[in-house]
Amino acid sequence: MNGQKLAGRVAIITGAGGGLGAECARVLAGHGALVAVVDINLAGAQAVAASIIGQGGQALAVQTDVSCEEEVKAMAAAVLARFGRIDVLYNNAAILSPEQRAGDLDVCNMDVAAWDRAMAVNLRGSMLCAKHVIPAMLLQQSGSVMFATSGFGAQGDLTLSAYAASKAAIAMLSKSVAAQYGKQGIRSNAIQIGLVENDVHPMPAELKKILLDNHLTPALGTPRQLADIVAFLACDESSFITGHTLAADGGFSSHTPSMAAMRGFFERVGSNRI
């Protein structure tokens, strides 16, 4: 356990049945949060909830397709029925399956069904969860909402055009929430995530090396590093931060596009004098 900076707080984490969301659920529970583990994958959500309960925490697995308004509404009601309040919402769910990636390419080769799925799950899903959770936060006059975005949503890239557009829009959605409900005690922030290693989507070694060369840190991110940032934005330690997009990306978005190639050049010539 890591102290109790979220003691008694109720946190909803979407897409928490696996990947980064699962680690966020476990870490927030470790800080004392009562966690709703929300995912379209019920078995995954139940396994994560069981592991939290096994560690002495409190968790509720809720099967929800975040793109479906009726299911999201029912999920928020189930969490309120079980825990009585909602303090934290982390919109982490995204559709990243191999089939989705196969259709979400450059614009000329975009599969329109993949485009629509990305918008429905990533963007509409985040909006729907905010829509149905924020009213409970307004009653309390407090809450922290967070949205998972990506470098793809901030910088042009060669593929995943639908994913990228959905993530850019999510960053704006976060600012809308911050502006609209800030005076009622609700904060909203987006987390622009770099490459965080995830067993669910292993990446070819060559691609990983290209990405690592463009991170300023010695290593790519870990699920735990990301979960620690989510815990910080969820709790009162970050009470003056709202409307912000925090780049949790090992510096990936903070340098010139030529930096990795220049580093190789300087190493080859043995000097960085230009």
Q: Can you give the binding site for ligand NAD, defined by CB under 6 A?
A: 14-15, 17-21, 39-41, 44, 64-67, 92-96, 121, 125, 148, 150, 193, 195-196, 198, 200-201
Does residue 163 have an active-site annotation?
A: yes
CB 11 within 8 A of CB 57: no
- The one catalytic residue in 83, 115, 152, 163 is 163
Q: How far is the CB of 100 from ligand NAD (least distance, A)?
A: 9
Distances in Å between the Cα of 269 and the Cα atoms of 210, 233, 262 are 21, 44, 11
Considering beta carbons, is residue 7 or 219 the nearer one to ligand NAD? Answer: 219
Q: For ligand NAD, which is the closer residue by CB, 184 or 225?
A: 225
Place of tokens 């949205």: 147
> Shortest approach of ligand NAD to residue 193 CB, angstroms?
3
Give the residue ranges of DSSP H helices in the chain: 19-30, 42-54, 69-83, 98-103, 112-118, 125-140, 161-181, 205-213, 223-234, 259-269
How far from 116 is each of 81, 163, 165, CA to CA, in Å?
33, 10, 11
Cβ nearer to ligand NAD, comparing 98 with 270: 98
**Closer Cβ to ligand NAD, 94 or 165, answer by number:** 94
> Which letter, b or e, does each residue of 68-104 get, where b requires 16 or more Cβ atoms within 10 Å of its Cβ?
beebbeebbebbbeebebbbbbbbbbbbbeeebeebb
Q: How far is the CB of 202 from ligand NAD (least distance, A)?
A: 11
The nearest distance, CB 41 to ligand NAD, in angstroms, is 4
Which residues are catalytic, by number? 163
